[in-house]
Amino acid sequence: MALENIEGVMPVAYTQVTSGTALHSDQLMNAKRDEPALRDIFYYVPDGVIYFMDGGRPKLAITREPENPLLQEDVYAHYWCVVQNNHNYIVSLKEA
């Protein structure tokens, strides 16, 4: 399958992607290994990263596209507003 690079800021570019077709980070790394021309391009991937506390211990969860809370409607704009003001974006337990 040929890769298509959609340029632009994440919330706008993501609206042009058919759900379920974006490569996840592990898939993209495999593609970069096999195709050197892909190595110098910056990519967004649909993976989500959530840090949380579990029983007093910090943990990290890496999500795939369907579970990434930032790819849900109207969340991304709110996320950038929070981050640009130097705050953490807190995912609700329901979203996580």
**Residue that has been written with the tokens 């096999």 in this structure:** 34
**Lookup: tokens for 36:** 């050197």
Per the CB < 8 A criterion, the answer to whether 66 and 21 are in contact is no
- Residue 57 binned pLDDT confidence (cut-offs 50, 70, 90): very high
What's the whole-model pTM score?
0.67
- Residue 32 binned pLDDT confidence (cut-offs 50, 70, 90): very high
Tell me which residue of 95, 88, 28 sits closest to 67, measured CA to CA.
95
Amino acid, res. 23: L
Could you give the CA distance from residue 35 to residue 28 in angstroms, rounded to a whole number? 10
**Residue that has been written with the tokens 């991937």 in this structure:** 45
Q: What mean pLDDT is reported for the chain?
A: 80
Quote the pLDDT of residue 59. 92
**Residue that has been written with the tokens 């898939």 in this structure:** 27
Greater pLDDT, 93 or 63: 63
**Residue that has been written with the tokens 């991304």 in this structure:** 76
Residues 6 or more apart whose Cβ sits within 8 Å of residue 65 = 19, 20, 22, 24, 46, 47, 71
Using the predicted structure, report yes or no on whether residue 1 has a pLDDT greater than 60: no
- Residue 29 binned pLDDT confidence (cut-offs 50, 70, 90): very high
